[in-house]
Amino acid sequence: MSKKSKGIILIQRILVWTLYFFAGFILYSKEGSLYPFLITFSRIIYPLSIFWLQIRIKKRTNFLPIDSTMTTSHLWFNLLPVIASLITVILSLTNIFLYILGKLFNF
């Protein structure tokens, strides 16, 4: 991999993590723009999703390590963190965009 592509990947990761941490800051410090149940769920799972993503990125493994030899419990053990983290990412980013839109248009 060339130096230029590594630099671009680094910049992209920094931008994504900055956006995600800013979304977490808004999630914890401001009143949520979504339903209270969704905000509570996001506040609980948000730190776990950060740790889960860091582990997956550092180990450079697949996000969904599924194969035909897995038992049902092992499959759920691998799927639940992925599903919870994806839902949390979607909810926290939706919350930050609704917050920004509310500030721009004074909702």
Instruction: Read off the pLDDT of residues 69-83 as tens digits, 9 standing for 90 and up.
Output: 888 888 888 888 888
pTM above threshold 0.75: yes
Taking the C-alpha atoms of residue 67 and residue 94, their distance in angstroms, rounded to an integer, is: 32
Per-domain residue ranges of the chain: 3-105
Please, what sign has the CA dihedral across residues 81, 83, 86, 87? negative
Residue 54 pLDDT > 80, yes or no? no
